[in-house]
A and B are shown apart, each in its own frame.
Chain A
Amino acid sequence: MKTVQELNEIARNVRIDALKGIHAAGAGHPGGSFSVTDILVSLYFNVMNVDPEHPDMPDRDRLVLSKGHAAPALYATLAHRGYFDPSELLTLRKLGSRLQGHPSMELCPGVEMSTGSLGQGFSAAVGMAIADKLDGKDRRTFVVTGDGELQEGIVWEAALSAAKHGLSNLTAVVDWNNLQIDGRVDDVKKVDPIDAKFEAFGWETFVCDGHDMQELLDTYEKAFRIKDKPVCIVAKTTKGKGVSFMEDKAGWHGKAPDDEQLAQALIELGGDR
């Protein structure tokens, strides 16, 4: 178990390495990667039962990054967790790389489901949790989704399924940054109130600060005490978190920084330390 301070330090390095990878690739999604970083780091380092030496360990917990475009954050988290060497992060999106633009379960160790087409990962994760329940397996499935992604109808079909099956072994975390490619989620197609929607669909919900490690950890603990239904954690986040000129800017959804911007971002993230 890591201390909150250690988790924050890991998250800082994850953001740095994710951004370096995006810069090297000349393309990628920094905004959503930075909003989801603290969620992924807290789960992979302090919550999930996984073994990077044995990515296919039979009773491991599983996480599906349904917002697959945040792959750089997932890859950097997996690398720092020990699944592969962080130097590989510079191969992001390059020909022949295991680190595809969107996660490929076939190529990248630790990736449990190939995602990229929004909404499908959420539904696949529900399938995984159903299978575990049928098989009597005592392990957890996590699915991390974006708030814009909630505009996909399949998410709500899957939400009904999860409630029907009483999937208390499933925890959804919504990276609630209120931005999508075309602007504010509230303007493009409002999904708020997210918690009330999931509650109406038969889920237990919690709202927390998605950048406060202690609050995230406390919320997971609360979520695991729910034994009769799936839980949705709506984590309030800031797109581009950690880099002043990227924060809360829709324009940084899918754009790589140039050399100057990378240098400035690394200073802000403490990359020069």
Chain B
Amino acid sequence: MADVKKIATRQAYGEFLAEYGAERKDLIVMSADLSGSNKTDIFQKAFPERFIEAGISEQDMLAEAAGIAHSGHVVAASSFAMFAAGRGYEIIRNSIAHTKANVKVCATHGGITVGEDGASHQTFEDIALMRVLPDMTVISPADAVSAKILLREEFEREGSAYIRLGRSGVPVVYSEDADIRIGKAAVLREGSDVAIIATGIMVAEALSAAETLAGEGISARVIDMHTIKPLDEEAIIRAASECKGIVTAEEHSVIGGLGGAVAEVTASKCPCRIAMVGQHDCFGESGKPAELLKKYGMTADDIVKAAKGLL
């Protein structure tokens, strides 16, 4: 997929905000001293009066966001995933999710592809932390196109949400007119031997893995689980019953993340063999994103190996 166009989902987020801000006058965007990195600066330039620079105070930003939302606004609150979901966890739980605040926590720099910043900035726990919260929608887009579509749908809804976005460019796998809906997994490739259920940047890797597997006579279904919550259980059960096994692929800890979520569904409703590709209970380190994905086992090759192991 070397010739495929790559765009970071954070870029799509910034562009979405500027487009959407023109339509929604009640949209407030907040950022905690990272507007250049999380791309909220694109909105800031267009609508400076509706941009709030919260400073290096993620907890305060999130609780303020709840207060602003409960004053009749929709609020996009942005920081790195580590500091939004990690540092801000209890505020997101008590002041946002529990009060059903119309706050969309848009966290960029999720996962290991933060790269050189190293372990302190690489989040493998955010999906797990957010998906255990009642009344939270958790979205993890695969590419820039689907990110914009899913962001728009989520911002049109009332309620609390966590949207995980990435730092590094990812291949565009969707067309602009793709039919993508929150809570409905997208089957990007049909297959019957094995199902690869992927989220975020791992969707492109899954497509690449399916191509490799096809060359070896193995038919792999590729499912983009862009919505972690509410989880499309039907798509998982169908995959479990129609294929010989499931490979989950995520740029996140397999504990509590997509792997855990899929296992919860299959264990109770349609037991099947599962192999999990993701971060395996360890911290990351500094390095280039591609180097890190390889070292920590989150590439198309790893998915291929995992799929073969199931057959």
Contact = CB atoms under 8 A, between A and B. Distances in A.
Interface stretch (B90-98, B149-157, B209-217): B90-98
A204 interface: no
Interface in B26-71: 28, 49-50, 52, 54-55, 57, 59-60, 63-71
A116 to B, nearest CB: 7
Contacts of A134: 28, 49-50
A124 B70 contact: yes
B191 to A, nearest CB: 45
A105 B99 contact: yes
B22 to A, nearest CB: 17
Q: Is the interface of A mostly helix, strand, loop or mixed?
A: helix
Contacts of B57: 154, 157-158, 160-161
Interface string B62-92: 0111111111110000000000000000110
A47 to B, nearest CB: 20
A67 B66 CA distance: 17
Nearest to B75: A127
A114 interface: yes
A153 interface: yes
B100 interface: yes
Given A113-B99, A114-B94, A132 B60 contact: no
Interface string A105-135: 1100000111011011111111111111011
Interface in A51-83: 64
Given A117-B90, A124-B70, A158 B98 contact: no
B67 A130 contact: yes
A131 B71 contact: yes
A158 B71 CA distance: 17
Interface string A86-108: 00000000000000000001100
A92 to B, nearest CB: 19
A184 B70 CA distance: 35
A128 B73 CA distance: 10
Given A114-B95, A128-B70, A134-B49, A158 B55 contact: no
B98 to A, nearest CB: 6
B94 A120 contact: yes
Contacts of B63: 119-124, 127, 154, 158
A125 B99 CA distance: 14
A125 B67 contact: yes
B94 A127 contact: no
Given A127-B71, A154-B91, A161 B64 contact: yes
B59 A154 contact: yes
Interface string B103-137: 00000000000000000000000000000000000
A127 B55 contact: no
Contacts of B28: 131, 134
A165 B134 CA distance: 33
Contacts of A113: 66-67, 70, 95, 99
Given A106-B100, A123-B64, A131 B73 contact: yes
Contact of B55 (A105, A121, A128, A161): A161
Contacts of A129: 67
Contacts of A64: 67
Interface string B215-253: 000000000000000000000000000000000000000
A120 B57 CA distance: 13
Contact of B68 (A122, A128, A153, A160): A128
Nearest to B101: A124
B72 A131 contact: yes
- Which of B63, B91, B99: most chain A Cβ within 10 A? B63
Nearest to A158: B60
Contacts of B65: 127
Given A106-B99, A134-B49, A158-B60, A126 B67 contact: yes
B99 A158 contact: no
B94 A116 contact: yes
B131 to A, nearest CB: 21
Contact of B64 (A112, A117, A124): A124
A158 B62 CA distance: 11
B208 to A, nearest CB: 44
Contacts of B49: 134
A134 B60 CA distance: 18
22 contacts: A105-B70, A113-B95, A113-B99, A116-B94, A117-B94, A120-B94, A123-B59, A123-B60, A123-B91, A124-B66, A124-B67, A125-B67, A127-B64, A127-B66, A127-B68, A128-B71, A130-B67, A131-B67, A154-B57, A157-B59, A158-B57, A161-B55
Interface of A: 64, 105-106, 112-114, 116-117, 119-132, 134-135, 153-154, 157-158, 160-161, 164
Given A160-B55, A161-B60, 17 more contacts: A113-B70, A113-B99, A120-B66, A122-B63, A123-B60, A124-B66, A125-B67, A127-B63, A127-B67, A131-B68, A131-B71, A134-B28, A135-B71, A154-B59, A157-B59, A161-B64, A164-B55
Across chains A and B, which 9 residue pairs bring their CB atoms closest together, nearest first?
A127-B67, A127-B64, A123-B63, A131-B71, A157-B60, A124-B67, A157-B57, A128-B67, A131-B68
